[in-house]
Amino acid sequence: MGAGPGDPGLLTCRGRDILQSADVVVYDRLIGQELLALCREDAILIYVGKTAGKHSMTQDEINAVLSEHASRQLSVCRLKGGDPFVFGRGGEEALYCLERQIPFEVVPGVTSAVAAPAYAGIPVTHREVATSFAVVTGHTKAGAPADLPEADTLIFLMGIKALPQIVENLLQKGRPASTPAAVIRWGTTAEQQVVTGTLADIEERIKQAKLTTPALIVVGDVVHLREQLQWFDNPATRPLWGKTVVVTRAREQASTLVAQLSQSGARVIQCPTIRIAPLEDHAALDGALAQFAQYDWVIFTSSNGVEHFFRRLDACGHDARLLGKAQIAAIGPATNDALKQHGLRADLIPATSISESVADALIQRSPAAKVLLIRATKGREVLQQQLTAAGWQVDTIPVYQTVADTGNADEVRRLLSEGAIDWVTFTSSSTVTHFVNAIGSDAIKAHRATFQVACIGPITAKTAAENDLVADIVTSGSGTEELAAELCRAVE
């Protein structure tokens, strides 16, 4: 199966379905974590990546792995970068399966040979410039550059080390030294680098830019079109291009913010310092549900609270009708959006998405009443305290918990030490606390001057400041859209 050229959005629908169902996934070097995250939690993941001169497994060993797991009647996904039949040795592995009577399916992938130039603003054909193109391997089995076909546009895969020989061969074949050329590294990803020149100077230009593998080479007049068609790596239209942004939100919630930042050009590093988990004991919530008619108001302080509340509601054989005449308060628009997914709308949303504003708005709107407060096991007590002081009866019921998640901490520490992080974003006080615990306060202090901090809401910013992470951006609301927009404005 082809994984595509690097951008996880270019995975095919069929590819997504297979990754979500496979028992075993045998994957190559350039497969991103975003794709592996689609796999089942109990799937067996086997890395068989290769780099020049360093193979984690030989091809014979890889073949043996495929045979071993398939013989156990497991569904095996052989996940290869780009397209499996375009210089991916997919044909060899398919023949191996055929010889052993192992049933197989081929799932094509978007090849980097076409996608990387497209993301660089270079069409491989153009009616007025190039009516043919050829894809050539940068090295053959014998290790020498491949013979050069006749075509208007030539794309060389895995050829950056053989660039001197490729240029020499092209010149000997009669290509003018002024022929445009481009080298594209990490095409279709936020780390994409593009160097353009001619056959006369492209070698020197990539040396100056210090470009290394993985990269491909494009030769032909179509390279000139990049001057007009550059879109992906264009700061004018994607203001966060070239910026690395850390997202600390729980992975279950981060997809929207990740998408917003990525669409603006950022390289997003997910460092989910917390993970949202269900409770082991639902006795408190079950008791409240059994006597729900006693409550005048239900307060939801997060979209997570909404989702876990309704999961338990369903597990107990109830639905939204149980809420009856109770009025609903939501801490902010995002929480109200989560309620809408269950056919409900909040009766009260404060102007500012903080607990103090919820309490003030309730006290101004209604006489003292009985409230069910839905929240995590740990959280700020100010909402309960203010309402209780005003004579309200408050039952605080946890419906989920946040637990530490340090899975990506090592990578973030490494990037901090290299000065490669531009922004760290925090969406709640708990993300700040867990980030400091995961990365270490000493590491953060040592590199604090190299990155900026963006926080959703003043409460999160206050917690950040208490941990020597004074925020450069503080949004007024709780939505991720405002955070992404403020980051774009900050770099303009």
Asked if residues 303 and 334 have their Cβ atoms less than 8 Å apart, the reply is yes
d(CA 8, CA 17): 14
pLDDT of 206 over the 90 cut: yes
Of 238-242, 330-334, 350-354, which range is least confident? 350-354
**pLDDT in the model for residue 139:** 66
Q: What token pair was written down for 197?
A: 């020149």
**Residue carrying structure tokens 């101004």:** 364
Every domain of the chain with CATH number 3.40.1010.10 lies at 8-106
Coil, strand, or helix at residue 453?
strand
Q: What token pair was written down for 196?
A: 């353009």
d(CA 110, CA 5): 6
Residue 183's CB: how many other CB atoms inside 10 A? 24
**Digit-coded pLDDT (tens) for 152-180:** 999 999 888 889 999 999 999 999 999 99
Q: Which residues of 200-230 are buried (b: 16+ CB within 10 A; e: fewer)?
A: eebbebbeeeebeebbbbbbbebbebbeebb
pLDDT interval class at 488 (50, 70, 90): very high
The CATH number of 113-229 is 3.30.950.10
**Residue 28 among the catalytic residues:** yes
What percent helix, strand, coil does the chain show, rounded to 5? 40, 20, 40
**pLDDT in the model for residue 53:** 59
Asked if residues 139 and 160 have their Cβ atoms less than 8 Å apart, the reply is no
Every domain of the chain with CATH number 3.30.950.10 lies at 113-229
**Digit-coded pLDDT (tens) for 5-33:** 999 999 999 999 999 999 999 999 889 88
Task: Name the more confident of 149 and 4.
Answer: 4
Amino acid at 270: Q
**pLDDT in the model for residue 125:** 97
**Digit-coded pLDDT (tens) for 247-292:** 998 776 678 889 999 999 999 998 887 778 888 899 999 999 999 9
**pLDDT in the model for residue 159:** 85
Burial of 161 (0-12, 13-18, 19+ CB in 10 A): middle
Assign residue 65 a region: left if phi > 0, alpha if psi is -120 to 50, beta otherwise? alpha
**Digit-coded pLDDT (tens) for 402-415:** 877 766 888 999 99
The CATH number of 277-404 is 3.40.50.10090
pLDDT of 70 over the 70 cut: yes
**Digit-coded pLDDT (tens) for 105-157:** 999 999 999 999 999 999 999 998 999 999 998 765 545 555 788 899 999 99
Of the residues 7, 17, 23, 50, only one is catalytic, namely 50
pLDDT interval class at 88 (50, 70, 90): confident
d(CA 126, CA 116): 16
**pLDDT in the model for residue 52:** 62
> Taking residues 40-49, what's their average pLDDT?
92
d(CA 332, CA 352): 7
**pLDDT in the model for residue 140:** 55
**pLDDT in the model for residue 219:** 97
Which CATH number applies to 244-273+405-491: 3.40.50.2000, 3.65.10.10, 2.60.40.10, 3.40.50.10090? 3.40.50.10090
Please state whether the predicted TM-score (pTM) of the whole model is above 0.75: yes
Of the residues 7, 17, 23, 28, only one is catalytic, namely 28
**Protein fold of 8-106:** Cobalt-precorrin-4 Transmethylase; domain 1 (3.40.1010)
Smallest CA-to-CA distance from 358 within 321, 319, 394, 309 is with 394
pLDDT of 327 over the 70 cut: yes
Average confidence score pLDDT of the chain? 91
What would the DSSP string read from start to end of 200-253? TTHHHHHHHHT--SSEEEEESGGGGGHHHH--TT-TTTSTTTT-EEEE-S-HHH
Give the H or E element holding residue 64.
helix 59-70
Q: What token pair was written down for 180?
A: 């445009």
**pLDDT in the model for residue 149:** 86
**Residue carrying structure tokens 């919530």:** 285
Every domain of the chain with CATH number 3.40.50.10090 lies at 244-273+405-491, 277-404
Identify whether 214 is preceded by a cis peptide bond (ω within 30 of 0): yes
Q: What is the 3-state secondary structure (H, E, C) of 367-424?
A: CCCEEEEEEECCCCCHHHHHHHHCCCEEEEEEEEEEEECCCCHHHHHHHHHCCCCCEE
Percent of the chain at pLDDT exceeding 70? 96
**pLDDT in the model for residue 146:** 57
**Residue 83 among the catalytic residues:** no
Q: Please, what sign has the CA dihedral across residues 411, 253, 38, 399?
A: positive
Residue 398's CB: how many other CB atoms inside 10 A? 19
Coil, strand, or helix at residue 357?
helix
